[in-house]
Amino acid sequence: MPLNTLRNIGIAAHIDAGKTTVSERILFYTGINRKLGEVHDGQATMDFMKQEQERGITIASAAITCFWKGSQINLIDTPGHVDFTLEVERSLRVIDGMIALFCAVGGVEPQSEAVWNQADHYKVPRIAFINKMDRTGADFPEVVLQLNQNLDANAIPFQLPMGSEENFTGIIDIIERKAYHFSDQERIEIEMPTAWVEKCEEARQFLAEKLAEFDDDLMTLFLDEQEIPAEILKQVAREATLKLLITPVFCGAAYKNKGIQLLLDAVIDYLPSPIDVGAVVGLDTQDSEKTHTRVPSVKEPFSALAFKIIHDLYVGQQTFIRIYSGRLESGMAVLNSTKGKPERIGRIMRIHAKDREEIKEAGPGDIVALIGMKITKTGDTLCDPDNPLFLENITIPPTVIELKVTPPTHKEQQKMGEALKKLSNEDLSFNVRVDEETNETIISGMGELHLEIIVDRMKHEFGVELEVGEPAVAYRETITEEVVNNYKHSKQTGGKGQYAHTVMRIEPNPGNGFEFVDKIKGGVIPTEYIPSVRKGIEKTLERGILAGFPVVDVKVVLLDGSFHPVDSSDMAFQTCASICFKQAFLKANPTLLEPVMHIEVNTPDEYIGEIVGNLNRRRGRIESMRRHRKGSQKVNGQVPLQEMFGYATVLRNLSSGRANYSMEFFQYISVPGSMQTEILEKIRKSKEKE
């Protein structure tokens, strides 16, 4: 199939905007499904995980291939809940175009803004689909206004809804001047009702005026008041959409099967093919200043990005990849340049949600699943061994919430460990660690729902019933002062002794994570022991020093030391570096860092005072308040996560159930001194009890 007929698209939006219902309708109309699956009865094809079917939400982004009017569409359905933001991030990294979905009643909601900003970051062209036009309170012009005011989308209606709420009877295609009714699962072209002819002409005039800004020939036709052919409008609109200059807006009611075929037409007309996206740029594996480009062609060297891992009960691990250039064949040897190791390609699958079709080869633009990959993880680059490069990785947000989990019996400990390892391979925003003092397993993630799903999957997919503690904030530890420390590790134990000596300077490194600098001169510590020093420090960073939380944002400079020709060893230098670092850390005025969340609350005007007052009492900092819809406002600010447990219930009570909110990680900041003492004391007491 020609590359210009391929579309890699994602559907992204706020939770409950109807993404999965739209996906199901797309699968139905493209012939993948014989019958319509519904979210509410747990029959949605894209939601094939048990947890998705029970909750009616999408968790894992499922990739699916379908065909429309001679074009191939690879569709990626993404979650809308903020706890699964990494799933959206992964998808946006590999798709070429996006359908941004909005509820005609809710409009631009908190998570739609977050997804929009992510799409801006990855420069993904998008079209907007305003869904649920048949719902009470549906307001098409208001949502278009919000797109422009809140998202700076330069949104232009390409369709007009004929009526709204229970009077939503059909859709007008402004460019083609055609009207459609929808009966059962069919779209029927009708003569445009007289009442809509003038409105259509006004909207077409507005659309032409907007598009004329981007094309001189169209501007001439517009100024001369000549008839503008539909083909010219479509061509200019396509170019403007691909350059992220406009957002074409479409509408419908997916649940009632209205507008989906027209949306599919729009995907083909206005969203890019891999050829439109052009070359991908990667970094040289030896020199990070040097770049390589790969155009989407089978003649180019092979390059691909692994963007998702799913463990399947029947075929094992499936590694989803997006191919940017070259050809991939079963049995082929490729290089995982991220790990610097070779991989051999086993089976290649084209995915239809829970069904798979084995294929022998895949090419540029394809999104496929590989079975049998040994070392490849999310974000890794796969490439031709003779032409290596690194593709841009996926940004992994830090975890902010923790749970202590224990298996019901000691026998289940190993089973739990294996299952958690598989889940953390799948989802890089989920971490597992063991508290060395109490030997407890602690899991951490992006929010309460995120960890609830993990625990649920442990039970149903892996057969491990977990005993779960209370959710707790995932603090971090760091330093605020620079300190030099000198430590000599010397032990005689009858036989061969242990000797190592390190002098290191540690200093704050805000926002830059851990950095290690080797300034050893004259071989006072042999070269082979330098990695041992680093390893000893890194192990200590993971375990924490103040209260068992990971240490972040510290720069360590190894200045001096000494060794013994017989008694020095890898382990001696690891132990020495660990103790030297701990001593330095405790002298460097250590502090706890707490996660601060960005919060957005949508509330009717009458509750604004109480809601702002309540956020202030929670150590919140209000950033802005702006009109959301008529009679309601949007409050933005930052609040420490520690203060937000149980907030959903409080907000419900404050607003008689009419306000809603969304939270996502913003940054880690120092805990106030008095609170730090309190937190450390509480942690000490809980460990003593155990």
* Banded pLDDT at 32 (limits 50, 70, 90): low
**CA separation for the pair 160, 199 (Å, rounded):** 9
Angle at alpha carbon of residue 530, lines to 526 and 535, rounded to 5° = 150
pLDDT, residue 351, reads 73
The rounded Cα 119 to chain-centroid distance in angstroms is 10
Look at strands 554-562 and 515-518 and give their pairing.
parallel
Judge whether 532 and 487 are in contact, CB under 8 Å.
no
Q: Where are the alpha helices (DSSP H) in 520-617?
A: 530-543, 570-587, 608-617
| Residue (of 616, 620, 607) closest to 660 by Cα position | 607
* Residue range 238-291, pLDDT digits in tens: 999 999 999 999 999 998 899 999 999 999 999 999 999 989 999 888 887 888
Give the tokens for residue 321: 């990849």
Mean pLDDT of 69-95: 75
Min mean pLDDT across 237-246, 418-427, 506-515, 525-534 is at: 418-427
- Cross-strand bridge partners of residue 318: 310, 371
Distance separating alpha carbons of residues 536 and 571, to the nearest angstrom: 8
pLDDT at residue 47, rounded to an integer = 39
Give SS3 for 380. Answer: coil
Per mean pLDDT, which range of 82-91, 114-123, 395-404, 627-636 is the poorest?
Answer: 82-91
Radius of gyration in angstroms for the set of CA atoms belonging to the chain, rounded to a whole number: 28
User: Between 36 and 661, whose confidence is greater?
Assistant: 661
Residue 355: pLDDT above 70?
A: no
Output the CA angle 618-619-622, nearest 5 degrees.
100
Report the alpha-carbon distance of residue 581 to residue 56 in Å, rounded. 49
Reference 340, options 389, 297, 294, 302; nearest CA is 389
pLDDT of 515 higher than 90: yes
Tokens coding 668: 């880690």
The strand pair at 333-336 and 381-383 is best described as antiparallel
Instruction: Categorize the per-residue pLDDT at 181 as very low, low, confident or very high, splitting at 50, 70 and 90.
Output: very high
DSSP character at residue 253 = B
Predicted pLDDT at 77: 61
| Stretch among 128-137, 194-203, 211-220, 650-659 having the lowest mean pLDDT | 650-659
61-65, 167-171, 200-204, 615-619: least confidently modelled range: 61-65
**Contact (Cβ atoms closer than 8 angstroms) between residue 178 and residue 188:** no
Q: Give the best-scoring range by mean pLDDT among 23-27, 258-262, 491-495.
A: 258-262
Average predicted confidence (pLDDT) for the chain: 86
What pLDDT does residue 28 have? 84
Q: Which residues pair with 505 in a beta bridge?
A: 484, 557
102-139 pLDDT, tens digit per residue, is 999 888 876 777 788 888 888 999 999 999 999 999 99
pLDDT tens track for 305-342: 988 887 776 777 888 899 999 999 999 999 999 999 99
The whole-angstrom separation of Cα 601 and Cα 101 is 20
**pLDDT above 90 for 472:** no
3-state class (DSSP) for residue 435: strand
Q: Is the pLDDT of residue 511 over 90?
A: no
pLDDT per position as a tens digit, 542-581: 888 988 889 999 999 999 999 999 899 999 999 999 999 9
Confidence of residue 203 (pLDDT cuts 50, 70, 90): very high
Torsion angle (degrees, nearest 10) of CA 133, 136, 142, 144? -20
Checking if the pLDDT of 508 tops 90, the result is yes
pLDDT above 70 covers a percentage of the chain that reads: 91
In this prediction, residues 296-307 reach a mean pLDDT of 92
**354 pLDDT band (50/70/90 cuts)?**
low
Residues 364-395 have pLDDT tens digits of: 999 898 988 888 888 889 999 999 999 887 77
Q: Which of the pair, 688 or 190, is modelled with greater confidence?
A: 190
Each residue's pLDDT tens digit, 86-110: 767 777 888 999 999 999 988 887 6
